Structure 1
Amino acid sequence: MPERMRDVRGAMAAPVADLVRRRREPVVVQTLRSTAAATIAYVVALQLSNETAPLTAPLTALLVVQVTLYNTLTTGIRRVNSVVVGVLIAIGFSALVGLSWWSLGLIILASLTVGQFVRVGEFVPEVAISAMLVLGVTRVGDTAWDRVLETVIGAVVGLLFNFVLAPPVWIDTAGESIEGLARRMRQLLLRSGEQLTARTPPEKAAEQLHEARQLDNDIVEVDAALRQAEDSLRLNPRVREGLLNRILLRTGLDTLEICTVVLRVLARTLTDLAKERAGEPMFPQEEGVALQELLGHVADAVVSFAVLVTTQVSANADAAEERLAEQLRAAGVSRDHAARLLLDGVRRDPRDWQLHGALLTEVNRILDELDMEHRGRRLMEELDRGTREQLGPRAWLDRLRERLTPGNSR
């Protein structure tokens, strides 16, 4: 009986533990924040609006509150703009015509057209929706301005909600996505290395190639997580060095994306080699073991690179950098050893020599992308470009101020 009670408690605690574990996931955060903001907006609108059920306010708050503060600001402005434009169009039409099938079609056409010019983004349909809702009521003037008031209430509540309760920064989530991508690449490289000394059927090598191609889907998912992290850094009062964090993650993902392309080409080379060497090992034992060791070093370097990119603490970053440098040195030594063995093997048996050379070339490309000096130059270039973009408007204002200041005109 006590054992059954423990099982029951465990079954009841599992959903709670899962909710606690997922409390920082974007979907969970979005759900809780949107619910709270919409409820608050409805309560405020009940006090300020003449409508008995001012549902426009919670609807606006629901659409305005996003996971990041940057998205909340931009979305709120566009939504309020779309509703106000729609209401103004409805007021203009109500003064001239009533509600009929042709006036409804005309107001929809006008609203959608005007919505494209006022730059409300994805809220272009909201212009037409607002216009139709206002045009369809009897007391157009009062209802129109009540709808504007409710929209403003919802947008303000949504904005204040994110200012008072600042949304989380999704750097850790993006970092986990990047590291997960690197670990999948590592597993693929290790499995590719295991095929080098065995009789690998072409079908099995083709499976590795298909898996390498699937990395493109992983890149898309990681890019979405990174975009969310970049937005969470913008205009967030809790974030320092937002530009540096964005560039570190973005350049890191760019490097891994290039490596996945090269890895796909490498998998294709091994597939072609498996077809040419059907019924026998791809490489002699000594050469295959050397290449397997090389791919193992490359696989570890890919993961170390991802850890370095996503590490925020300077002490841990130094340790990650040293580990990556050591693994790149080991990969370089292993590459040179494998190259000598391959050269000797080609002299004995020149079959498929071009595939051997292609394999080494692809490994070299990955190592070059992971090289510390190459990454350092890339980071400096992106930091300079990002700094110029940030200072661009300020520099323009400084030049304008100088021209307007007496005595500075030429």
Structure 2
Amino acid sequence: MTEFSGPAARYADLARRLRHDPFVVQTLRSTAAATLSYLVALWLSSEPAPLTAPLTALLVVQVTLYSTLTTSLRRVNSVVVGVLIAIAFSAIVGLSWWSLALVILASLVVGRFVKVEEFIPEVAISAMLVLGVTQVAHTAWDRVLETLIGAVVGLLFNLLLAPPVWVDTAGDSIEDLARRMRRLLLDVAEEFAGAPPVERAAARLHEARRLDNDVADVDAALRTAEDSLRFNPRVKEGLLHRIVLRTGLDTLEICAVVLRVLARSVTDLAKVRAGEALLPRPTALALQETAQHTADAFVSYAVLVTAPDSVAAEAAETRLAGELRAARALRAHSAELLLAGALREPGHWQLYGALLADFDRVLDELDPEHRGRRLMEELDRHARERQERRERRLRMAPRPGRARAER
């Protein structure tokens, strides 16, 4: 196989990253779908410049097939509702300042009831555009036709050229988050052996608080990945993929909160020490080793959650189990040393206990058995929800159909 080096390697890496960038993929797909819908509308519509069709295609072609389908339905629904409102008002009152106000008010209220979500203003826009022309029926039909063309072209575009499955991108985001958490924990643990000023300890605390933004970014990438698994014929066991990734992110999010609490405890200890060493050297070294194995466990857990196959998952789980065993053993040794320190300084026992409790919470969250229980609980919950939806459909079905379904 040919190996690239120098500028060629950089260009190849850039092309690979662009090919897997949701923004780049979405931009190219939206441009192509909008242009195609405009050509189709020129052929089918009587309008000389049917721009509603490419506008609709631009709005409905989403990064996943599921979001494209739901967006196209809401878009068409909003336009049809707005056109119907305009036709009703034009037949009764015509166009004036007060009728325009009533049209806008009615459109926004009705849009809320028909649940078109982000397309509520589109109901009012469609109503105003149709109400402001002389040939109401002709303009209304053209607007509905162009909207249908854009929605159908956008939907067919995603059906025939299926958008990528963004699981790998979400997995990379989860691993990046785990590595940032690892680096932060190691940075916080460095302070145990020194006498950090309160300002530096507080800076670690602010860095831990910024993890919330990182978690939000990963959550957005994960929602895109979850939508890409819905209605996708190329994906088997899409529900399991979604649950594995979602529970994995939930665990890391809990650990991020615990890291923030740990940084808070270190900041409080720095305030109490007032420039002196936070902990005796043996105790500090034991806690630093505990933090090292715990930090490595973050990455192993992320690799386990995002593993593409069972072989990689088993290897990651083996590494994770070993790191958790080492961390628990060192945590037990740290507890003995902290207990001795608390007996010498009873006024600091609550801070020492807080450090141990934070490590205990993280180790418990990363435990593979805990993860297995979470997965089973989520699968059971989805199974119950499906059963409840099925029972509701049976209760709402007509009696002959209900009898056949029960049989």
Letter in 2 for 1:139: Q
Aligned match of 1:176 in 168, 172, 175?
A: 172
CA deviation profile, 1:220-247 (whole Å, cap 9, x unmatched)? 1111111111111111111111111111
- Does residue 292 of the first structure (1) align with residue 288 of the second (2)? yes
2:71 is paired with a residue of what secondary structure? helix
Bigger mean CA deviation after superposition, 37-46 or 12-21: 12-21
Determine the structure 2 residue equivalent to 1:82. Answer: 78
Report the alpha carbon displacement of residue 203 of structure 1 after superposing the two structures with TM: 1.0
- Does residue 379 of the first structure (1) align with residue 378 of the second (2)? no
Determine the structure 2 residue equivalent to 1:271. Answer: 267
Determine the structure 2 residue equivalent to 1:214. Answer: 210
Report the alpha carbon displacement of residue 302 of structure 1 after superposing the two structures with TM: 1.2
2:112 is paired with a residue of what secondary structure? helix
Check the 8 A contact 2:394/2:405 in 1, yes or no.
no
Q: How does 1:306-317 map to 2 (within 5 A)?
A: 306-317=302-313
Report the alpha carbon displacement of residue 351 of structure 1 after superposing the two structures with TM: 4.5
Aligned match of 2:242 in 222, 240, 246?
A: 246
Give the Cα separation in 1 of the matches to 2:175 and 2:16.
Answer: 23
Report the alpha carbon displacement of residue 389 of structure 1 after superposing the two structures with TM: 2.4
Report the alpha carbon displacement of residue 263 of structure 1 after superposing the two structures with TM: 1.0
Report the alpha carbon displacement of residue 69 of structure 1 after superposing the two structures with TM: 0.5
When residues 163 and 407 of structure 1 are mapped into structure 2, their CA distance, relative to the original with a 3 A threshold, is closer
1:95 is paired with a residue of what secondary structure? helix
Give the Cα separation in 1 of the matches to 2:184 and 2:50.
Answer: 56
- Does residue 156 of the first structure (1) align with residue 155 of the second (2)? no
Report the alpha carbon displacement of residue 168 of structure 1 after superposing the two structures with TM: 0.7
Report the alpha carbon displacement of residue 346 of structure 1 after superposing the two structures with TM: 2.7
CA deviation profile, 1:77-101 (whole Å, cap 9, x unmatched)? 0100110111111111222233222
Bigger mean CA deviation after superposition, 39-48 or 19-28: 19-28
TM-score (norm 1): 0.92
User: CA RMSD of the aligned region, Å?
Assistant: 2.1
Letter in 1 for 2:76: V
Letter in 1 for 2:318: E
Determine the structure 1 residue equivalent to 2:3. Answer: none
When residues 93 and 396 of structure 1 are mapped into structure 2, their CA distance, relative to the original with a 3 A threshold, is closer
Give the Cα separation in 1 of the matches to 2:145 and 2:139.
Answer: 10
- Does residue 233 of the first structure (1) align with residue 229 of the second (2)? yes
Determine the structure 2 residue equivalent to 1:41. Answer: 37
Determine the structure 2 residue equivalent to 1:404. Answer: 403
Give the Cα separation in 2 of the matches to 1:406 and 1:224.
Answer: 39
Report the alpha carbon displacement of residue 13 of structure 1 after superposing the two structures with TM: 10
When residues 192 and 407 of structure 1 are mapped into structure 2, their CA distance, relative to the original with a 3 A threshold, is closer
Letter in 1 for 2:27: T
Aligned pair count reads 399
When residues 406 and 261 of structure 1 are mapped into structure 2, their CA distance, relative to the original with a 3 A threshold, is closer
When residues 20 and 380 of structure 1 are mapped into structure 2, their CA distance, relative to the original with a 3 A threshold, is closer
2:115 is paired with a residue of what secondary structure? coil
Give the Cα separation in 2 of the matches to 1:119 and 1:262.
Answer: 39
2:195 is paired with a residue of what secondary structure? coil
Aligned match of 2:256 in 256, 260, 269?
A: 260
CA deviation profile, 1:262-294 (whole Å, cap 9, x unmatched)? 111111111111111122211111111111101
Give the Cα separation in 2 of the matches to 1:215 and 1:121.
Answer: 30
- Does residue 355 of the first structure (1) align with residue 354 of the second (2)? no
Determine the structure 1 residue equivalent to 2:131. Answer: 135
When residues 406 and 310 of structure 1 are mapped into structure 2, their CA distance, relative to the original with a 3 A threshold, is closer
Task: Percent identity, please.
Answer: 68
- Does residue 118 of the first structure (1) align with residue 114 of the second (2)? yes
When residues 263 and 237 of structure 1 are mapped into structure 2, their CA distance, relative to the original with a 3 A threshold, is same
Report the alpha carbon displacement of residue 17 of structure 1 after superposing the two structures with TM: 6.2
Which ranges in structure 2 are unaligned for 5 or more consecutive residues? 1-5
Report the alpha carbon displacement of residue 32 of structure 1 after superposing the two structures with TM: 0.6
Letter in 1 for 2:267: T
Determine the structure 2 residue equivalent to 1:389. Answer: 385
Report the alpha carbon displacement of residue 397 of structure 1 after superposing the two structures with TM: 5.3
Letter in 2 for 1:56: T
